[in-house]
Structure formats: C-alpha cells, structure tokens
Amino acid sequence: MPEYRRVTPHKLHEAIDEADRLIIRESPMPESLLLFDSRDRGDLEGLKKVFALLEFPQPGVFLHCMCTGEEQILLYSKGQETVQLTNHHGTSVRCNLWGSDARIVHQEKWLAWLTQHRS
C-alpha cells in the first residue's frame, strides 16, 4: 500500500494557482494521445472551479481504484511538471499530491469540463 497522505484539496488549488500550463492526455500511459495543451489562465481557473473534492479518506481509510485511469491531467509551473492527476470513472481522481484517491463532489461538472477540454 502506498504511503498514507491525507487528501488535501487546498494543495491542488494552490498548485493550479501556481501553474502556467495544463496538459490533458488520453491516459497515464507513457505514449498516450495528447488531447489538450493550454497556457491560458482561464483554462486553469476553470479546472479549479470544477474541483470540489471530499477530504477523503478518514484516518485509516484508503481508496484506490484498481484501474490505471482514464484522462491524465498534468500541471506545469515554469517548465517543471508539478501535478499528475488521473480521472477514475468520473467519480474520483488520483493525484501525486496525496496517497489516496479522492471522491469528486460534483461529478457532472467535472465530466463536462473534461469533455469541453478535449481537442
């Protein structure tokens, strides 16, 4: 089991605030198709708006979907990758900022944002 780190949505929001580039790939697989690439602050702010996450898990509870995930979102700041985020069935996300998958509160908003940002 990966190291336990509590889901902290505010850390993701801080990373989005610092980001200057957003990439969406078809999957987390190394040679997956590039779907979207933007340096537009509006795209980053839109991502921040759709991310209402439950501060899950509670102490001692760990959520981990067994699939590799669907779309992967990468955030960059000053040319350095800072965040890797993977969509899991539109209901949760995996993020390198914490140890457990996190449940998405407004799944419809999240899926609409993803659909809108696929080139």
Cβ-based neighbours of 88, under 8 Å, separated by 6 or more: 65, 67, 69, 70, 94, 101
Q: Three-state DSSP class for 43?
A: helix
Query: Looking at the predicted structure, is the pLDDT value of residue 99 above 90?
Result: no
| Architecture of the domain delimited by 9-116 | Sandwich (2.60)
| Per-residue model confidence as pLDDT tens digits over 10-36 | 899 999 999 999 999 999 998 999 999
Task: Report the chain's C-alpha Rg in angstroms.
Answer: 13
pTM assigned to the model: 0.89
pLDDT for the residue 1: 37
Q: Is 115 within 8 Å of 102 (Cβ atoms)? A: no
Domain ranges of the chain: 9-116
| Per-residue model confidence as pLDDT tens digits over 51-90 | 888 765 566 667 788 888 999 999 999 999 999 999 999 9
User: Mean pLDDT for the chain?
Assistant: 88
